[in-house]
Each structure stands twice: as C-alpha cells, then as structure tokens.
Structure 1
Amino acid sequence: MGIRTITRVVGLFISTSLAFATAAQAAPFNSPGYPNYPYEGRYPESTPCRYNLQQSKKATWAGSNITLKYFYSGQCGSFARIDNAPPYCKVYLDRTRSSNPNPSSWDYVGETVDPGINFAYTKVGNNLSGRLSRAALVCGTGTVVTRTNWY
C-alpha cells in the first residue's frame, strides 16, 4: 500500500469521524400513551406512506420567523415539522385517544430543535379511525407560539 492510499484512507476516516461527531442528535419525547397505534413511533420516512401538507402557520419568536407545518397521510396518519426555528423551540403533534369529535384527552409526540440546525419534525401520530391530531410550535419554557386546527 502506497503513501497516497494510506493518506486517503486516513483522511476518509477522519472526515467520517468528524461527520458523526458533529451531526445533530434528535431529541424525541412523548407522553406515556404514545406510541399506541400502527406506524406510531416511526419517523415518516420509515413508513410506506406519502404525506401531503395539510396546514401551515407562520409565527415569530425571538426575531425568528418560524413555519409550523402539518402533514397527513390517509394510510399512516400525520406528523409535524418546524422550519427556521431557534434551538430552544420544539414541535409537538397531539393525537386524541379516542374518536370523540370534541377532543378532551390526547397523547403527544415531539422533537426539539438541536444546536446547529433550524428545523425539527415529529414521529408519526396515527389519527386514523376517527382520531384527530394537531401540530404545535412551543418555545422557551413552554409557550405555545402557534397551533394548527384539529384534523
């Protein structure tokens, strides 16, 4: 093995190590009743479904113009995403526990915005079979900045 090959291998190893060391780490969280239905506990890209943007809301927090997006699939359920958000914001997806059209109890799944990136998205919430879901942008010490309608 020549010096060029060794140099390339070492360079590849170092750059790969740095990529893993500096990659943002997701920080998902959820209520005790989540996951409970099919596809819950999985990120949207780990399901066989295609999601469509159903609702979008804009909000301002600490000088950042943040977009909250709510995506839906009739086969898997829904997920929420925030873009252009500071690191002390979180995105939530609430999912009702029953098919009651007037939600009174729900579970949630959420994700924090990690340092070095400005977005976050949740795992899937199964709002099929009459259950409903909604998305929320929460910043600071728990301030709900904006929220979508139940869907």
Structure 2
Amino acid sequence: MSRRSLRTLLAAGGAAAVMALLPTSAQAAPYSGGNYGAYGNEGQYPTTTYCSGTFRQIGATKYAEGMALKYFYSDKCGSFARIENSRPGCVAVLHRSNNGVGRVDGWVSESVDPGITYAYTQMGNNLHGRVSRAVLSCDGHDLTETGWY
C-alpha cells in the first residue's frame, strides 16, 4: 500500500522550508538536501552501534499543537531531531550549517510512519565548528524549532 509523504526542500540561504508531496512506500523515508552527507556519520541513524547511548538532549523540549520537538547531541557522533506525539503529515527536520553562523547548508528530514506518533532523523555532523538545529514541520509549515547548537 502506498501513501503520500512530505519532503522538506530548503530555499537558498536557509529561508523557510517549503514542503512538496512525493509518493513513497508505506514506510517513512529520510529525505535530504544541500550538502547533507558531506561529513562523517551523516546518513546514519543514531541507533548505530558506534553512536548508540552517546546522545543527550540539549535545550528544552519545544511544543506546538501538543507535539514535542527534541534535539539530541553527541560529541562523538553529531546530532539528530526527534518529534513525539505527532500527527500524520509532520516531519522531524535537522538543519546543519557548515560553520557556526547558522546558515542552512544541508538538511535531513523524516516523516511519521502510519500508526505511530514519533519520528527521528538521521544524524547531522555538527562537530568541529559546525552547528545544527531541529525543526518540527507539518503540512508545509514550520511550527517550532530549537536554537542552533
């Protein structure tokens, strides 16, 4: 059975995310853009053996429409975004900047699977002077975001 999933596309210079509908299989899938994947650990999930158990939540949980957005960081592996209590049509997004300026150079997103209420992204490498932030986006609109870390 197929469904429609959301993919986040970023405008140049880190402007607001624009959502586009794409047909996908029944399972949520990561989408990415910019230069995501250029650094070590990008494209991997935080559950990989090398990184498992090294993450801690940074900053306060952000809320929008009863949904939660969390940002996790590991000084060994990088960071990832997680959304909880989510409705369908929402995605967890991780923006990554090549430097400490906080300009989006790469991003990865993950949609919520049917029948569950959470999603988490693959890792972004915000080590060695790079920074990242988490975003909760639903139906084409960014609802909340964390600071850059």
Tell me, yes or no, whether TM beats 0.5.
yes
User: What's the CA shift string for 1:8-43, capped at 9, x where partnerless?
Assistant: xxxxxxxxxxxxxxxx62221000411111111000
Shift of 1:47: 4.6
The answer for the alignment partner of 2:48 in structure 1 is 46
Which aligned pairs between 1:62-101 and structure 2 lie closer than 5 A?
65-97=66-98, 99=99, 101=100
Q: 1:28 aligns with which of 3, 27, 30?
A: 30
Cα distance, 1:135–1:36 mapped onto 2, change above 3 Å = same
Deviation of 1:110 after TM superposition, in Å, equals 0.5
Give yes or no for contact 1:47–1:76 (8 Å, CA) kept in 2: no
Is contact 1:39–1:47 with CA below 8 Å preserved after alignment?
Answer: no
Q: Structure 1 residue aligned with 2:63, among 33, 47, 58? A: 58
**Structure 1 residue matching 2:142: 3-state secondary structure:** strand
- Once residues 70 and 108 of structure 2 are traced to their aligned partners in structure 1, the CA distance between those partners, rounded to angstroms, is 15
Alpha-carbon distance between aligned partners in 2 of 1:30 and 1:119, rounded to the nearest angstrom = 19
Q: 1:6 matched to which residue of 2?
A: none
Give the 4+ runs in structure 1 shifted more than 3 A.
none
Larger Rg computed on CA atoms: 1
Q: What one-letter code is carried by the residue in structure 1 that aligns with 2:143?
A: V
Q: In 2, distance between residues paired with 1:72 and 1:124?
A: 9
Gaps of 5+ in 2: 1-25
- Cα offset, 1:136, TM superposition: 0.1
Provide the TM-score with structure 2 as the length reference: 0.77
Percent of pairs with identical residues: 49
Alignment RMSD: 1.3
- State the shift of 1:103 in Å: 2.4
The structure whose residues are more often strand, as a share, is 2
Residue 144 of structure 2: which of 143, 146, 149 is its match?
146
Deviations along 1:47-69, one digit per CA (max 9) or x if unpaired, are 51210011221111xxxx10000
1:109-142 CA distance string (max 9 Å, x none): 01001211111000000000100000000001x2
CA–CA distance in structure 1, aligned partners of residues 104 and 111 of structure 2: 23
Match of 1:104 in 2: 103
Aligned residue in 1 for 2:121? 122
